[in-house]
Structure 1
Amino acid sequence: MSELSEILDTSKRIVFLGGAGVSTESGIPDFRSGSGLYSQSSGTSVPPEEVLSHEFFMDHPDEFFEFYRTKILHPNAQPNAAHRALARLEAEGKLTAIITQNIDGLHQVAGSRHVLELHGSVLSNTCMDCGRHYTLDQILETSGVPVCSCGGIIKPDVVLYGEALSEKMLREACTQLAAADTLIVGGTSLTVYPAAGLIHYFEGDNLILINKQATPADQIATLVLHDSIGAVLGSELS
């Protein structure tokens, strides 16, 4: 922890790259752990990974939204110590960007402003026909397949399997990583691409990994902490 403190004190351009483990401490399950979403029943005859695909959404929107509402949406979740600590780092002028694989919007709720959401956000939804935008609260007020006033299906602005990530978002993430002097990677196993490959764009001095389990990048990191990211950042930046 003393080494972490020294690195953060001397850093001027910190970027944070986070995954599902950042939000598990807010009560949002991850995907691939033993108790994660993919180990649970989808309530359909197909696995959760397939339910969350573009093809399944188009072919079976009713089953998709039943799963989406019960398993993906967590409207009562609140930011945890990690979210709040990162927001403080940004407010102090040290953290320049958060690159997240999460879709829950908790970084923004905590006060972070420069958040690059690689996989989109449940907070935003768009009619597939006319392009009208809808909030999460508006979706929660509906049942079944949400339909726009024009009659089109409203799709969550999240990246489903079979859909491409935003090239603009990826370019911005690479730009931020290339300019950073410190990269904190937290709550991710670094096994899901293309997000996992983003660390190769980091050219700075300090790579900090905070994750309960080992990652493929542990051997090249400046500092590795196998612990809860909320416990580490929360105590360090309190």
Structure 2
Amino acid sequence: MENKIEQLSKILKESNNIVFFGGAGVSTESNIPDFRSSSGLFNQKLNRNFTPEQLVSHTFFVKYPEDFYKFYKDKLLYPQAKPNHAHLALAKLEEIGKLKAVITQNIDGLHQLAGSKNVLELHGSVHRNYCEKCHKFFDLEAMLSLEGTIPYCDKCNSIVKPNVVLYEEGLDDDVVSKAVSAIRNADLLIIGGTSLVVYPAASFVNYFRGKNVVVINKDNISYKTDNTLVINEPIGEVLYKSVLSNE
């Protein structure tokens, strides 16, 4: 592993337009479970007749809002979570001018909490919630303070919906455009903590035309080219050793 850390450190020093593309594995070291590992949300038994994918679908939200919010609040909200070494290292790379964008499939807001500014959230954020009728904004704390399992707007009494992309919903066109542009113009693409199986998000890495790709993921993923450095280790440890330990 140490040899690969040295390779990564050298690549980081030589790169000036870095883009990070990450998934659930970035936040597991902050004690937020991922979705697809053996211990992830999609493999937990729910004692009911719906899969986790169905429970976070647009159809389920509309038809069964109470069950949707029970699952959402219990399994997808971690308001006490703190940024880990991966989030902090990426914020440091942005601070020194090398990292130009963080593109994340996560909805937890930990990149911003760590200090990252240019964060493109492909699947939205639990920290933004809007009334479906009057569009009043609620941050996470305000949404959770609303009485009842289903959060109803205290202005017009309509349902408040989290600004997260549910199954059956499309991604935000502006976020997609910015993500694709960032990847296309990068000289280094770091892919971390993602299995690259959630589409269309996973397809965005194919727009990369730069020099180097670094994949940091505990499990092997299918993406690999001649200029790819693969590190199958915890992402927080890898980024800490290659970025933060040199401060």
What is the TM-score of this pair, normalised by structure 2?
0.94
Residue type at the aligned position of 1:77: A
Q: Show the counterpart of 1:153.
A: 159
Q: Determine helix, strand or coil for the equivalent of 2:130.
A: strand
1:202 aligned to which of 208, 217, 220: 208
Residue type at the aligned position of 2:151: P
Counterpart mapping for 1:1-238 below 5 A: 1-142=5-146, 143-148=148-153, 149-238=155-244
Q: Determine helix, strand or coil for the equivalent of 2:30.
A: coil
Question: Identity of counterpart residues, as a percentage?
Answer: 51
Q: Determine helix, strand or coil for the equivalent of 1:122.
A: strand
| CA shift for structure 1 position 195 | 1.3
| CA shift for structure 1 position 236 | 1.1
Q: Determine helix, strand or coil for the equivalent of 1:96.
A: strand
| CA shift for structure 1 position 219 | 4.3
| Structure 1 gap ranges (5+) | none
| CA shift for structure 1 position 211 | 0.4
Write out per-residue CA displacement over residues 169-196 of structure 1, whole angstroms, 9 at most, x where no aligned residue. Answer: 1110011011110000000011111111
Residue type at the aligned position of 1:28: I
Query: RMSD in angstroms over aligned alpha carbons?
Result: 1.0
1-side partners of 2:49 and 2:129: how far apart?
Answer: 27
Residue type at the aligned position of 2:105: Q
Q: CA 1:43 to 1:71, structure 2 compared with 1: closer, same or farther past 3 Å?
A: farther
1-side partners of 2:37 and 2:239: how far apart?
Answer: 22
1-side partners of 2:33 and 2:231: how far apart?
Answer: 21
| Structure 2 gap ranges (5+) | none
* Residue pair 1:212, 1:226 contacting (<8 A) in 2 also: yes
| CA shift for structure 1 position 168 | 0.9
| CA shift for structure 1 position 167 | 1.1
| CA shift for structure 1 position 41 | 2.8
Write out per-residue CA displacement over residues 176-234 of structure 1, whole angstroms, 9 at most, x where no aligned residue. Answer: 01111000000001111111111111110010000011111134452110000000001
* Residue pair 1:42, 1:51 contacting (<8 A) in 2 also: no
Residue type at the aligned position of 1:119: H
Farther-moved stretch of structure 1 (135-144 vs 48-57) = 135-144
| CA shift for structure 1 position 6 | 0.8
What is the TM-score of this pair, normalised by structure 1?
0.98
| CA shift for structure 1 position 151 | 1.4
Count matched residues. 238
Q: Determine helix, strand or coil for the equivalent of 2:53.
A: helix
* Residue pair 1:14, 1:183 contacting (<8 A) in 2 also: yes
* Residue pair 2:144, 2:151 contacting (<8 A) in 1 also: no
* Residue pair 1:44, 1:63 contacting (<8 A) in 2 also: no
Farther-moved stretch of structure 1 (187-196 vs 101-110) = 187-196
Q: Which runs of 4+ in 1 moved over 3 A?
A: none
